[in-house]
Amino acid sequence: MPLQYEGIGAEHRAVRSQVGLFDVSHMAKWQIAGRDASALLQQLVPSNLGRLKSHQGMYTMLLNPQGGIIDDVIVYRGEESWWLISNCATYGKVKAWLGEHLGDRLEDLSSSTILLALQGPQAPAILSDLINPTVDQLQRFEHSVFPLHGANCWVARTGYTGEDGFEIMANVEVGRQLWQKLMRLRVSPCGLGCRDTLRLEAGLLLYGQDMDETTTPLEAGLGWMIHWTEVGDFVGRSPLVIQKAQGIKRKLVGLEMQGRAIARQGYPIQVEGQTIGTITSGTMSPTLNRAIAMGYVPTAFANPGQALTVLVRDQPQPAQIVPRPFYRRHAP
């Protein structure tokens, strides 16, 4: 997946106003089958998978025994099996972790399938014409299988841009034909650059920057994923119970720069000249036309409106903590 095709700004604006297409086939794709698959998978995530009906999905995470985040994932429930999408960068450790707990119930679909993400306001109409009119009947985080070019393709109404859209998994040849058809319709191909600016505007976290195995969901603002009273024991529960009782010492916050300086990953966050945290993600927002960022700060400094500075090339630049997401689409 290239950084850009026509330019990050143009691709970003296409997704926000029209439609864009991402080849995210590098994402890891797993299928889990077996009568006891549901029970085994439930032990690995803190969210109640029992909330899902067939053809529904849920954003959740895999945790290590210390309560740290191995990866953030989307789990989809099928009629007889489950699908799980995880990040490319964590492929090796996720494969080992799932294999350890799920055994031969786990099937790796990563190299045998493609994954395309069609994102933007025009995505429902375009995909309904190409695949099936009922595609637009899928609700957010619902999924189904549709025939396409003599094979089946799996479609989920999910994405990583803050816009309406779909992710399509199919075999390589079907995926190639679908990409070519969408290019002929002049859908904008999009790269990693605008994928990052889009997800940051939407306040969505990037694994390896905004969270990792040293980060707990409580610190990362993902505590809503933990269904404390609905799920019994799960990997990492005990440390999270302790952290919740003792108080969370740091939190991930959204920041807005007060000038034109851009806060980048690794830049120090300061209050009165003292470093209190670090920027994890930052960019100039093409939609909002201002510099936005995320970073970890002590809980005492994590309230919206808190003034602070970010050290940009050794120069302190004013910033303020603001609520996330920075951008929210207006549903029709």
pTM: 0.95
Please give the biggest Cα pair distance in the chain.
Answer: 64
For the structural domain made of 8-201, what CATH number should be given?
Answer: 3.30.1360.120
pLDDT (0 to 100) of residue 221: 98
Q: How many CB atoms lie within 10 A of CB 135?
A: 21
Cβ atoms of 71 and 90 within 8 Å: the answer is: yes
Mean pLDDT per 10-residue run, the chain (332 residues)?
95 98 98 94 98 98 98 96 97 98 97 98 97 96 95 96 98 96 97 98 98 98 98 97 98 96 98 97 97 98 98 97 94 60
Cα–Cα distance list, 297 to 71, 254, 272, 292, 293 (Å): 22, 10, 14, 16, 13
Tokens, residue 135: 């595609």
pLDDT (0 to 100) of residue 35: 87
Backbone angles phi, psi at 124, to 5 degrees: -60, -45
For the structural domain made of 249-322, what CATH number should be given?
Answer: 2.40.30.110
pLDDT (0 to 100) of residue 332: 57
Location of each CATH 2.40.30.110 domain in the chain: 249-322
Whole-angstrom distance, CA of residue 162 vs CA of residue 141: 13
Residue position matching structure tokens 């909330």: 51
Location of each CATH 3.30.1360.120 domain in the chain: 8-201
Cβ atoms of 20 and 166 within 8 Å: the answer is: no
